Amino acid sequence: MDLVVVIPAYNEEECITDVVSDWLKTLESLVGDYRIMVLDDGSTDGTRQALSAFSDDARVEVVSKANSGHGPTILQGYRVAAGMADWVFQCDGDNEMSSDSFGGLWQTRDGYDALFGTRTNRRQSLGRKMISVLSRLTVRLAYARGVDDVNTPYRLMRSRFLAEVVSSIPDSTFAPNLVISGTLAAGGVRIANVGVPHQNRCTGAVSIKKWRLWRSAALSLVQTVTLAPDMHVVALGIKASLLTGACSR
């Protein structure tokens, strides 16, 4: 396939049908052969029932799984998707970042190996702003510069590189997108940072709040730093493959 879109969803019954429908419309006009993979992370509301609307649509694959959290869920999706298509795109099921901006990434993909949607117009609490800054600094210090929004849930990645990275990330990693951003940057792949409008969720509720937010942030940053030595080995492998490819041409 050309593309697999990975969409994790947890308790998004109010918007998930609209989100998937919007992506189908967008992809139909841009991509030849694609699949949307929605991973229902053990939702306790009507998300699973809402997704049944696509049960007869071969373009949509719904994976119902036990709750494990956002990070392990997207990691599961990445590993499967990277073996199915040339490109993997990830977005969340909360409708905070529209499919309208995807065309800009897809149409310029040939010049890059990873394209990251930098969230613009984002309204955050002071705590979340501090965590975003700490995440960016941690990735830059432990890995490399290159990705502006290191935890963006709007990213298009070439599967040949993504597969190398995710195969080395432990299943329980809380925020694998941080590790992926850093490893791809350290590996020297061609990266584009593209501004993408962000809007705060209009439905559902944020699942991680207050003290849980800081505890989760601390866990993700510690894991990101702890994994750095192993991921730098992966990055060296990516660099070697890039060099070999350049020499073969």
Across 207-227, average pLDDT: 83
The pLDDT assigned to 156 comes to 98
Answer whether CATH 3.90.550.10 is correct for domain 3-248.
yes
Using an 8 Å Cβ cutoff, are 62 and 38 in contact?
yes
List the 60-65 sheet strands across, edge first. Answer: 60-65, 34-41, 3-9, 87-91, 154-158, 114-120, 191-197
Sorted by where each begins, the domain ranges of the chain are 3-248
Higher pLDDT among residues 34 and 123, named by residue: 34
Residue 113 DSSP label: S
d(CA 49, CA 17): 10
pTM above 0.75, yes or no: yes
Query: Per-residue b/e over 50-66, b at no fewer than 16 CB within 10 Å?
Result: bbeebeeeeebbbbeee
User: What confidence tens digit (pLDDT) does each residue in 221-234 have?
Assistant: 999 999 999 999 99
